[in-house]
Structure 1
């Protein structure tokens, strides 16, 4: 009887010791498991690329600077720059200058245009007749008369005296020069009156006029 009781006592002591051992390691295991769970569920601190606005992104693309030459205040582009060979009208060129503040580059059409700007010059003065296909411009403010040749290739633009639209309206651009296309015959007829002011852009080497534009006088 004593032997059996001793065995039960030994068994009970072993179970109690085992229980204490489990109790001692339980909190550590729980803490370890909790830490592992927290570590795996915590959000990462690294942001996805592109989610932060940058200076470049906030500024966007810069506005392109208009091409050409800065327009002088109170001066039209066609008076500031020699547009000989440019097929655009004075009104179109000057409108671009007014809207952008820059006189557009000379447009060389068909690969010709103004290959050498030094071979061209512009004179403003009174138009006079010399001979068929040959006229004279007397510079404003004095100076030597300049003879020049005209042909069907010359771009002649009238306001009223040389020619105008068929309905008789005055046709001028923002710079006060004509925009209606005229013929050589109309130009020579106007030259014989010695009363028309024109702006002639000519080739210094050939003497041929590339454009003749009438300056409108009310």
Structure 2
């Protein structure tokens, strides 16, 4: 009887120890589950900073702006800034302003005589007539006279002497040169007077004039 009683006592002790062990595992399991849930959220928060370099890159590119003066609504660059002596034509300058939203800086070329820039030459002087489609300009600086060709592709801009708007108003920009579109016939008629000052932008290789602009004299 004593042996049986001892065995039952030992079995009871084993069962009680097992129960305590199971009870102790419960809180640990819950803690581990909570830890797993917390750790699974870490990659989400750590992935957020990866978007920052992209934002910085786009911000840097947005800060880049063209050089020059911002254009005014409804005003061309040649009417906004004095480009006298600039080797480029009004059409080229205004085209840059329309495309970039900024009027380009004025060239450092002289305001009279002959200015060369790559494939273009700009001459300011008195207009003269040679033959149909062929005129001449006598530089104000006293240099060599320069003959040039004109065609329907030449942009001719008058102030008053070559032509003007239909209402008779003088049409000039801030640089003092005409803005009214004229014909080759009107240009040749004015050339025969030997009294009109113009700014001629031409291709020195072909001899063809790209623009002829009248300088207004009150």
| Normalised TM-score (structure 1) | 0.66
In structure 2, relative to structure 1, the CA distance for the partners of 1:217 and 1:31 (3 Å cut) is same
Give the match for residue 36 of structure 1. 32
Which digits, 9 at most, give the CA deviation of each residue in 1:14-70, with x for residues without a partner?
A: 46424542355245423442343333332432236752242332452503554xxx5
In 1, the alpha carbon distance for the partners of 2:178 and 2:92 equals 8
Matches within 5 A, 1:65-214: 66=66, 79-83=85-89, 89=91, 92-93=94-95, 95-96=97-98, 99-102=101-104, 118=118, 120-214=120-214
In structure 1, the gaps of 5 or more residues are 104-116
Say whether the 8 Å CA contact 1:203–1:209 is kept in structure 2.
yes
Say whether the 8 Å CA contact 1:71–1:97 is kept in structure 2.
no
Give the match for residue 17 of structure 2. 21
Q: 1:40 is paired with a residue of what secondary structure?
A: helix
Say whether the 8 Å CA contact 1:77–1:93 is kept in structure 2.
no
Give the match for residue 114 of structure 1. none
In structure 2, relative to structure 1, the CA distance for the partners of 1:42 and 1:135 (3 Å cut) is closer
User: 2:52 is matched with which residue: 51, 54, 75?
Assistant: 54
Give the superposition deviation at 1:184: 2.2
Q: 1:176 is paired with a residue of what secondary structure?
A: coil
In structure 2, relative to structure 1, the CA distance for the partners of 1:139 and 1:185 (3 Å cut) is same
In structure 2, relative to structure 1, the CA distance for the partners of 1:156 and 1:21 (3 Å cut) is closer
Give the superposition deviation at 1:127: 1.2
Q: How many residues align?
A: 193
In 2, the alpha carbon distance for the partners of 1:98 and 1:8 equals 104
In 1, the alpha carbon distance for the partners of 2:120 and 2:189 equals 26
Which digits, 9 at most, give the CA deviation of each residue in 1:193-216, with x for residues without a partner?
A: 332110112333443333211122
In 2, the alpha carbon distance for the partners of 1:201 and 1:150 equals 11
In 1, the alpha carbon distance for the partners of 2:13 and 2:151 equals 124
In structure 2, the gaps of 5 or more residues are 70-79, 106-116
Which structure has the greater CA radius of gyration?
A: 1
Q: 1:204 is paired with a residue of what secondary structure?
A: coil
